[in-house]
Structure 1
Amino acid sequence: MPPIIIAIILSAAVLHAVWNGIVKTAADRTTTLGLVAFGQVIPSAVMITVLPLPSAESFVYILLSTVVHFGYYYMLGRAYQHGDLSVVYPIARGIVPPLVGIWAMIFAGELLPLQAWGGIAVIALGIQLSSWKALRSGVGRAALGFAAGTGICISVYSVTDGIGVRLSGNTLSYWAWGGFLHIFIAGFIAVRKRRTLAALPKRVWVLGIAGGLVSMTAYGLVLYAKNFAPLGAVSALRETSVIFAALIGFVFLKEGYWMRRLGSAVLMAAGVALIGTAV
């Protein structure tokens, strides 16, 4: 894989960790997720007025991705109701790389070399190690189910968007329309949380919308990379956001044990190297 593509995906992982850090510190995560979705709608609304339409066949994938994102937000919100972020997050993100590799093999005909699968496995192990203490304390059945459901949704929309963006003829247009259709997600949460939204201080609005802008930028970088690299490899590199999030938590939120997180970082770096030299 070209170093520039690796750098782009890892940059997206850092940005992804930043917006997840914003959600993590929120008192009401569902409302904040709605603001994050709305933060993607604002720039997208401008972009779709000046960009050409993506190809007609790619719109099916944009719509499917939007529907799956609905499921993702629902599963994530329910998972956080039943389990701590330190338990839910590694489960949800850890199952994504192998699932994306399997879906990409079935639906996109992508066959990864054995070394790349080894890199995916090492990254998945590093994700679990990053929150090993919390995972050892036990996971409730509901939290496990919703966390797994979240990961499945992530894997499905990752492959859906990977195929769709390749068919779109214009990555920017696909990115813009995908972001704009988050208006349905933002609208749904706004109706459900209308009383909470009315009482939110301006600072929370600003943070939530800023999180949306960061999230949209991160996913735009990933969409671009999917034009040039196998979907399973892109997904595995993107999920290194877990260790970046863990490092943010350690440095800024004073969370966790630094030796375990350093070990996770080393494992993920090894996984990145395996994938980068295999595809």
Structure 2
Amino acid sequence: MLTKRSGNKQAFLLLILLPSIMLLLPVLIGELIRNGISGQGGLLLALSLMVQAGYGCFLSKSLEQGDMSQVYPMMRGLSAFLLPFIGIVFLHETLTAWGWIGLLCIAAGFFMTSGIASRMNRQAVPFRVVLYTAGVGLCTMSYVLIDKLNLQYYTPLMLLEVSNIGFALGLIPFVRMGELRKLFRGKDVLGIMALGSVLSPGSYLLFLLAMNLSSLAYIAPLREFGTVFGAFAGIYLLNERKEAVRLVSAGVIFAGILLIGIWGR
């Protein structure tokens, strides 16, 4: 929501990452010096970096061109649907019948929000925004799956730093120095940036720690509990259009996440 409220999405996202990048850089360098990089571990690290760059690019474009109350449930719902499915197919994890019902709810909510099923609907999300949002969901699925494997080789703090750097690399081509200076002149910008600097990397660090303790099929959907709150924030705090389909679809996605997170094991 903080990013959506900012004038330049790419510049804002880049600035809130800089403090954690500078803070964790010694951790990254120290761990690389102590442990080095193995062949498979190095490949996974490079893949994580590239996918995070794509994630940064697609996320900023989605928030720039789409309404948060639509794109946020879509991007979160898609990754919440794909990650348990990938965990089941490739990591031999399991879901109960309730978990599978939850996956179907997430898929239904995605189609309701996007308007794919009724392209003649004037309230449907523009196709370009759907593509950007799908890119966010696919990148989220990819980097979470890659980092699940990366945890065999590296610490969560090091992986957080790699993800921060990759995300920043995806934003840099779209940011000019003049735009960064303009952001600093905004009202209350330093307070908002400080809050974003804690919430953005902090949330993924907690997720990395949780992935060490539980299966991907179970823990990944729990990360997306903010889906329905993102939809409500877009409508009531950002004054986006109030449409029943946005609220209902966000609720359906949230219900699916709840089913997987609580009764999916």
Q: TM-score under structure 1 normalisation?
A: 0.73
- What residue is the counterpart of 2:129 in the other structure? 143
Taking the aligned partners of 1:75 and 1:187, their CA distance within structure 2 comes to: 13
Q: Report the AA paired with residue 239 of structure 1.
A: E
Q: In the alignment, which of 175, 187, 204 is matched to residue 189 of structure 2?
A: 204
1:234 matched to 2:239: no
Taking the aligned partners of 1:84 and 1:257, their CA distance within structure 2 comes to: 11
1:163 matched to 2:146: no
Q: TM-score under structure 2 normalisation?
A: 0.76
Please provide the CA RMSD for this pair.
Answer: 3.5
Query: Identity percentage over the alignment?
Result: 22
CA offsets 1:116-174 (integer angstroms, 9 cap, x no match): 22233335556777899xx9611222122222122111111121112212x13533333
- What residue is the counterpart of 1:122 in the other structure? 105
Q: In the alignment, which of 183, 196, 205 is matched to residue 220 of structure 1?
A: 205
CA offsets 1:155-207 (integer angstroms, 9 cap, x no match): 11121112212x13533333344335555346545xx3212112222543552
Taking the aligned partners of 1:271 and 1:78, their CA distance within structure 2 comes to: 25
Q: How does 1:1-279 map to 2 (within 5 A)?
A: 21-48=1-28, 56=38, 57-123=40-106, 125=108, 137-165=123-151, 167-168=152-153, 170-182=155-167, 184-185=169-170, 187-189=172-174, 192-201=175-184, 203-249=188-234, 252-253=237-238, 261=247, 264=250, 268=254, 271-279=257-265
Distance apart, 1:26 and its partner CA: 0.9
Which SS does the other structure have where 1:105 is aligned? helix
The answer as to whether partners of 1:80 and 1:88 remain within 8 angstroms in 2 is: yes
Taking the aligned partners of 2:18 and 2:171, their CA distance within structure 1 comes to: 5
Taking the aligned partners of 2:212 and 2:102, their CA distance within structure 1 comes to: 20
Q: Which runs of 5+ in 1 are unaligned?
A: 1-20
Q: Which runs of 5+ in 2 are unaligned?
A: none
Whose helix proportion is higher, 1 or 2? 1
Q: Report the AA paired with residue 130 of structure 2.
A: L
The answer as to whether partners of 1:115 and 1:278 remain within 8 angstroms in 2 is: yes
The answer as to whether partners of 1:119 and 1:271 remain within 8 angstroms in 2 is: yes
Q: 1:156 to 1:49 in 2, by over 3 A?
A: closer
Which SS does the other structure have where 1:27 is aligned? coil
Q: Report the AA paired with residue 99 of structure 1.
A: L
Q: 1:187 to 1:206 in 2, by over 3 A?
A: farther
Q: 1:139 to 1:174 in 2, by over 3 A?
A: closer
Q: 1:54 to 1:115 in 2, by over 3 A?
A: farther
Taking the aligned partners of 2:192 and 2:155, their CA distance within structure 1 comes to: 30
